[in-house]
Amino acid sequence: MAKLTIEDMAVFCKKKGFVYPNSEIYGGFSGFWDYGHLGVELKNNIKNEWWRYHVQSREDIVGIDGSIITHPKVWEASGHVESFQDIMLACSKCREKIRADHFIEEKLQINVEGHKAEEINGIIKKNKLKCPKCSSDFEDTEQFNLMFKTNVGPKEDRSSVAYLRPETAQLIFADFKLVADNARLKLPFGIAQMGKAFRNEISPRDFLFRSREFEQMEIEYFAHPDKTEKCPFIDRVINTELNFYSAEMQQKNEKPVRMKIKDALKKKILGEWHAYWLATGQNWFTNLGAKSENFRVRKHLKEEKSHYALDTWDLEYNFPFGWKELQGIANRADFDLKQHMKFSGKDLSIFDEETKKKILPHVIAEPSLGVDRSFLVFMFDAYNFDNKRGNVVLRLHPKLAPIKAGVFPLVNKLEKEAKEVYDLIKTEFNCIYDKSGSVGRRYARADEIGIPYCATIDFDTLKDESVTLRDISTTKQIKLKIADLKETIRRLISNEIKFEEAGKLVK
Ligand code: GAP
């Protein structure tokens, strides 16, 4: 079967109720998407799993939930008002507007991220690049700030201008001192946040990949300014294998190399903190069923780095339209805390028990991940067409599956008993009850939306109070007692037991 494109995925997501184009009845609204009845469940499960793994199960990270509209000074201090810009190309005839770096990358296969407007103008002229819609010349490039503006309060003037946050990160810096003191955090520690971010992207594209409203899951991880080399948790990931694409490999046009963290550290390809967070980022995905061969880690070249970053690596995923950023991991040092101290006039330093001195910690790593891009990764790695079954099987990890179980009566006569089973497990899991069509057809419908377990109520149920449970990945079936069903599904989801061991295998 041909490789699934991003357009195929958008069609599938719409057809099955995962994601819809926003306000489709009005012709859609470019860069905005609505999550449907299955999409919202999958998205929430992704966020909950991320929060459990990165916040609740660790003692060194706590979370916050900051507001979407915040004091405009926050964005002046962070540099977003001045520098959060992309370069836009506008056609002199049809007025089509496109993002210059993406257009040049597509046409010339060169990376021009971080280039100045004059350099972009030069490249456009030298290569005689024209408008892709009407083949006319472009006007000179324009810088375009990506932040959405709004007004706070009843007056609409310059003094009431505020912005929708373009990243969640800055709220962490603005609240840093309160959180660090109140949560009694000791370095190294992290503060996490997830939630909506807004960017007025010039050309949103590739479905959920680049939209104007999206969600992020971010951590600012702080270390003592004199202890930025050694990561105390490096042993946890020392044997994790990653696909490394260093700056040198990129410059020499070499292929990425797969190696263990311990070997990459020996070769000084990267430092311990970046190694730790890149491996932790990939491990989170692969623990939830994503395929490790679809990931690589790439160092930003000098010209790509953001204004605040000392060093950045991206965790990239092999999307159908190429290797693209999934999670950025920047070393922001003390840039942000210093800026907020300067703009607010407040002291944000904290007391270090060990040296008995006040210090300003460094953000040794800022793992910043998109929820919507993660959603795509899990969908692409789960999706496959099973020729034997003749239908799509969405092999989502049971923890992520929007619906955990389906309950089917074999025949309508068994509806009462099936409904009782459904009512029993519905109190704990998101389930569906399905009585229409043959059982085979019901299994196929369940496969397509990634329901990991389906319980069929048959005539044996009347005799011995048992149900038949089917596993999506193997189609194997087991018999077990209704009384054990809820606990068995719970243990299967949390990976505490193997399917074959959860009941009597049906031959
Ligand atoms: N605080 C750092 C920061 O925001 P970023 O690389 O601009 O860094 C982090 O964004 C992540 O947010 C990206 O790796 C991506 O997953 C997600 N993201 C950024 N822009 C996006 C967009 N327009 N649509 C969907 N996701 C986006």
Over residues 152-191, the pLDDT tens digits come to: 999 888 889 999 999 999 999 999 999 999 999 999 999 9
Which residue type is seen at 175?
D
Cβ distance 328 to 305 under 8 Å? no
CA 258 – CA 264 distance, rounded (Å)? 9
Residue 14 has pLDDT above 90, yes or no: yes
At 377-396, the pLDDT tens digits run 999 999 999 999 999 999 99
Residue 149 is predicted with a pLDDT of 96
The whole-number average pLDDT for the span 72-84 is 95
Average pLDDT on 54-83 reads 97
Q: What is the mean pLDDT of residues 8-31?
A: 98
Q: How confident is the model at residue 2 (pLDDT cuts 50, 70, 90)?
A: confident
Which of 325, 331, 336, 363 to probe ligand 1 with, by most ligand atoms within 8 A of CB?
Answer: 325
- pLDDT one-digit tens code per residue, 206-228: 999 999 999 999 999 999 999 99
Worst-scoring range by mean pLDDT, 132-141, 143-152, 401-410, 468-477? 132-141
pLDDT score recorded for residue 55:
98
Q: What is the pLDDT of residue 95?
A: 87
Residue nearest to atom 15 of ligand 1 (CA): 370
Residue 137 clears pLDDT 70, i.e. is over it: yes
Higher pLDDT, 185 or 74: 74
Asked if the model's pLDDT at residue 305 lies above 80, the reply is: no
* Alpha carbon of 369 to ligand 1 centroid (Å): 7
Portion of the chain with pLDDT greater than 90, in percent: 87
Report residues whose beta carbon is within 6 angstroms of any ligand 1 atom.
Answer: 167, 169, 199, 201, 210-211, 214, 216, 218, 325-328, 366, 368-370, 372-373
Query: Chain-wide mean pLDDT for the chain?
Result: 95
Q: Say if CB 406 and CB 455 are below 8 A apart.
A: yes
Overall average pLDDT of the 90-104 stretch: 89
- Residues of the chain with pLDDT > 70, as a percent, come to 100
Residue pointed to by tokens 């939830």: 288
Place of tokens 């509209």: 69
Instruction: Kindly tell me if the per-residue pLDDT of 114 is higher than 80.
Output: no
What b/e string do you get for 145-168 counting C-beta neighbours within 10 Å, with b at 16 or more?
A: bebbeeeeeeeeeeeeebbbbbbb
219 C-alpha to center of ligand 1: Å? 13
pLDDT confidence tier of residue 1, bands split at 50, 70 and 90: low
Residue 51: the pLDDT is 98
Helices (H), strands (E): how many in the chain? Answer: 17, 27
Strands of 85-90's sheet in order across = 97-99, 85-90, 142-145
Whether the upstream peptide bond of residue 188 has omega within 30° of 0, thus cis, is yes
The secondary structure of 392-433, three-state, reads EEECCCCCCCCCCEEEEECCHHHHHHHHHHHHHHHCCCCEEE
Name the pLDDT band for 106 (thresholds 50, 70, 90).
confident
Nearest to 359 by CA among 212, 177, 199: 177
Average pLDDT of 56-75?
97
* Average pLDDT of the segment spanning 284-289: 98
The preferred substitution site among 113, 167, 198, 310 for testing ligand 1, maximizing ligand atoms within 8 Å of CB, is: 167
Going from the Cα of 211 to the center of ligand 1, the distance in angstroms, rounded, reads: 10
Measured in angstroms, how far is the CA atom of residue 307 from the centroid of ligand 1? 15
Closest residue by Cα to atom 9, ligand 1, is: 368
Query: How much is the average pLDDT of 336-361?
Result: 95
Lookup: tokens for 259: 């190696």
Which atom of ligand 1 has the smallest separation from the CA of 204?
23
**What's the pLDDT at 144?**
87
pLDDT at 304: 80
